[in-house]
Amino acid sequence: MEIDRVEAFVAIVRGRGFTRAASALHLSQPAVSRRLDLLERELGAPLFERIRTGVILTEAGQAFLPHAEALLASMRDGIEAVRGLEGPDRGAITLALVGTLASTTLTGYLRGFREAHPHVQLRLRTALSDEVSALVRRGDAILGLRYDTDPHPDLVAKVIHDEPRVVVCSPRHRLARARQVEPAMLAGEPWVGFPARAAGPEEPYGTSLRQCLAACGLGTAEIIAIDSLTAQKRMVEAGFGLGLVPESSVDEELRARTLRVLRVPAMRVTIPVALIHRRRAYLSGAARQLIEVLSAKPAPAGSPRTPHGH
């Protein structure tokens, strides 16, 4: 079985059709179709069902996909192992992470790593937690930073930080100068948060607001769905609602006094942040050093501090 045929199969899956697969592989569509035909002959079963909107995996395709992805990941591991012979400060590392973890604090850690390893190419990809895990399992990313651990047997997951979240409001809010706020005082207040996902696993970060409100007897509160953390902060600044955000993500706004932190003891919540990699992956010296950097830091998305604004 030739690797390029397996690559074509996986490219069709990820591109959801032949057009994007051909573009990704820099091939013509007939060439991609030919590779798939040869692979299906080798396997003795069709891997896709052609439908009007594209293709869907057959039962055989679903059974073959995880093995195909593992094969390609293993091949990339072999390439990295050979490159690793050049020295620990060579090669490339792809880090997949949830976008809300890309705080200025984490950026500083990564910048320090890059300065210490100028010949290592550090690539970043953002995705939701379950997508981060998928990228790592497929070998498209060497390391991943996600919310909560992942029990998948092909992954090693280590919680490296419990990220604190704080309630924020506009400086003009009626409770902005309150020394302490009880949940009952927030009755009727609208909130700004991430929308619920229509399909796929819920993002732990997105569900924590709804869970927290329900636990405080505020389960019927209106939530204005905004799918960007930056946009959420701007909406809170403008007085459209309250927010429950990562403490580290509002450093600049608190310094500029465009947001204030409400002390709500009943809504003190944290979310575990996990560093993941494939269990059988080849980890270069540089990748192991990056793991040490991220694991040693007390807070890849910011460290617990006394809330500002009081």
Q: 304 and 164 in contact (C-beta within 8 Å)?
A: yes
DSSP-assigned beta bridge partners for residue 192:
224, 243
Query: Which phi and psi (to 5°) does residue 6 adopt?
Result: -65, -40
Amino acid at 230: T
Reported for 41-48, long-range contacts at CB under 8 A and 24+ positions apart, including other chains, are: 42/1, 42/5, 47/9, 48/12
> Among 203, 208, 207, 209, which Cα is nearest to 221's?
209
Residue 177, classed as helix, strand or coil, is coil
Q: 240 and 190 in contact (C-beta within 8 Å)?
A: yes
> Among 265, 306, 268, 269, which Cα is nearest to 182's?
265
Question: Strands, DSSP E only, in 75-131?
Answer: 92-97, 121-126
pTM over 0.75: no
What are the b/e assignments for 188-220, b being 16+ CB within 10 Å? Answer: ebebbbbeeeeeeeebbbbbbbbebbeebebee
Place of tokens 């930073």: 145
What percent of the chain is modeled with pLDDT above 90? Answer: 53
CA–CA separation, 254 and 250 (whole Å): 6
Count Cα atoms within 13 angstroms, Cβ side, for 294: 29
| Each residue's pLDDT tens digit, 167-191 | 999 999 999 999 999 999 999 999 9
Helix, strand, coil: what percent of the chain each, to 5?
45, 20, 35
DSSP-assigned beta bridge partners for residue 274:
146, 159
Burial of 76 (0-12, 13-18, 19+ CB in 10 A): middle
CA–CA separation, 154 and 104 (whole Å): 31
pLDDT, residue 21, reads: 92
Q: 260 and 167 in contact (C-beta within 8 Å)?
A: no
In which band, very low, low, confident or very high, does the pLDDT at 16 lie, cut at 50, 70 and 90? confident
Amino acid at 202: E
| Each residue's pLDDT tens digit, 51-88 | 887 888 999 999 999 889 888 888 887 877 777 666 66
DSSP 181-208: --GGGGTT--EEEPPPPSSSPPPHHHHH
CA–CA separation, 138 and 276 (whole Å): 13
Mean residue pLDDT of the chain comes to: 87
CA–CA separation, 189 and 172 (whole Å): 14
Lowest mean pLDDT segment, chosen from 114-128, 173-187, 258-272: 114-128
